[in-house]
Every structure is written in C-alpha cells, then in structure tokens.
C-alpha cells in the first residue's frame, strides 16, 4: 500500500514508481486519502482524526494479509499512527521524508512560507525545491523543452489545486496539528525503513533527526546525498532498488 502526500493522489504520485515494484509483489494498493484524488472531503474537513479514521478503514477494507505500507511526506505521520492502530495489518513500514515530527517556531514559519503559493513564479519555486533541476549541459534540446513544458504545466496545476478550500484550511491549521510523541515512534513493533534525502528542501533536517532519535533501534534509516523530497519521481529506479533490498531482508 502506497500513501501519497499533500494535494496528490495515489495514482498521480506513484503511477511510474509502482510500475518498478509491481513485478516483485502480488498487488499494489494506491488509495486516495480524504479530500484527495477521487475521495470526498469529510464534513469536518481534513482534521487528523478523520484522516486517521479513513486510513484505518482503508487498511481494514483492502488488506487481508500483512502488507508493506509505503508513505511519503504528509502521509508519513498518519501511517505511523495507523500502524499502531492496526499492527497486524502492517508487515513493514517504509517512510519517505515523513511528516509528524515537531517544528520549532522558526521552522514552522519557514514551512508555511514554502507552501505559500500565490503566483506562477511561487509555484515554480516550490517545484524546484522538490528536487534539483537537471543541469542544462546534460540534456538535449528536446529534453530541455520537455522539462520546461512539464515544469510550467505542473506549476499551473499546483496553483489551481492549492486554491481548493480544504487544502487552504489544512495549510492554515498546520501549527495546530499534533506531533508524534517519542513513545509513539518507539512503540512500532514492525520493521521500519526511513529514507530521507540530504537535499530535501521541504522539511527541515531536525525532522529527520527526530525520527532517527526516537525510532526503535532495529529501524533502518538512509540519507542518500542526491535525493530530494520526492525520490519516487526523480530517482525512481534507485529508490526501488533500495526498497526491494530492504524488503528482501525483512
């Protein structure tokens, strides 16, 4: 089961990456969390309780044997809580730059500024923070033109998506969202693999340090120096190799 990040959907985020994993597994489940993709917005909005209840319901409805749960960014903290609620459903937990760790006031201010996208230029700047852009001298002219078109199309879509009221409200309420406690991380009984790129420019390094400090000693954490926040998009082949190597061990 692969859980997407903020404002994305299962298919839009993982369509290419899941194709690299499909030959090695029996099934892949790509759910849409509440208010994302094809899922409706709960009456109470995207509050933590409704998001967690929905994820637990998804596990109950779709998983009939222990499954590997891969979660990135926004869904990372939710996946930890769901794994604690349904430990027999989760064979292993893989977290890619997960949310859930506490922010300092300065980090919180910077985080909200990062997600403040009011113009097309703001949207392009955010996209460039997700991963380092290709060097111009390493690409052909068609490649450069393709990257230019994709980047601007994605920026247009991002601005349009983030204007939806429930996403605006969720970003506004980030300071109120509860953080994972150290004992909640330490209580995870299944194998845990965290991958956090050193070039992640979305979440502060202190969040990676928090996970490293409080996960069970048996957990595995890797920090590839060339990975950004979305390695499943920009380094999908290498991420798949790392993930499959971990799964073979467990």
* pLDDT tens profile 162-207: 999 999 999 999 988 899 999 999 999 999 999 999 999 999 999 9
Rounded to two decimals, the pTM is 0.92
* Structural domain contains residue 43: yes
* Structural domain contains residue 86: yes
* pLDDT tens profile 224-238: 999 999 999 989 999
* Structural domain contains residue 140: no
Tokens of 179: 């953080």
What is the rounded distance in angstroms from the CA atom of residue 223 to the CA atom of residue 201? 13
What is the rounded distance in angstroms from the CA atom of residue 38 to the CA atom of residue 233? 21
What CATH number does residue 9 fall under?
Answer: 3.40.50.1820
Domain count, the chain: 1
* Structural domain contains residue 183: yes
* Structural domain contains residue 195: yes
* Structural domain contains residue 110: no
């Amino acid at each position: 089961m692969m859980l997407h990040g903020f404002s994305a959907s299962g298919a839009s985020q993982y369509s290419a990456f899941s194709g690299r994993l499909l030959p090695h597994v029996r099934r892949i489940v790509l759910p849409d969390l509440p208010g994302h993709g094809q899922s409706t917005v709960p009456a109470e909005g995207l509050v933590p309780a409704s998001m967690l209840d929905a994820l637990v319901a998804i596990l109950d409805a779709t998983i009939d044997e222990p499954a590997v749960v891969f979660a990135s960014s926004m869904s990372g903290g939710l996946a930890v809580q769901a794994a604690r609620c349904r430990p027999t459903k989760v064979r292993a937990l893989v977290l890619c730059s997960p949310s859930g760790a506490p922010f300092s006031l300065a980090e919180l201010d910077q985080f909200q500024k990062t997600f403040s996208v009011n113009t097309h230029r703001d949207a392009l700047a955010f996209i460039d923070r997700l991963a380092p852009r290709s060097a111009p001298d390493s690409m052909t002219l068609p490649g450069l033109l393709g990257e230019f078109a994709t980047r601007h199309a994605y920026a247009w879509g991002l601005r349009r998506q983030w204007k939806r009221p429930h996403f605006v409200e969720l970003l506004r309420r980030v300071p109120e969202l509860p953080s994972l406690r150290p004992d909640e991380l330490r209580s995870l009984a299944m194998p845990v693999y965290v991958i956090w790129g050193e070039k992640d420019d979305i979440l502060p390094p202190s969040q990676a340090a928090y996970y490293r400090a409080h996960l069970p000693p048996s957990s595995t954490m890797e920090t590839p120096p060339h990975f950004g926040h979305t390695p499943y998009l920009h380094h999908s082949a290498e991420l798949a190799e790392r993930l499959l190597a971990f799964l073979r061990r467990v």
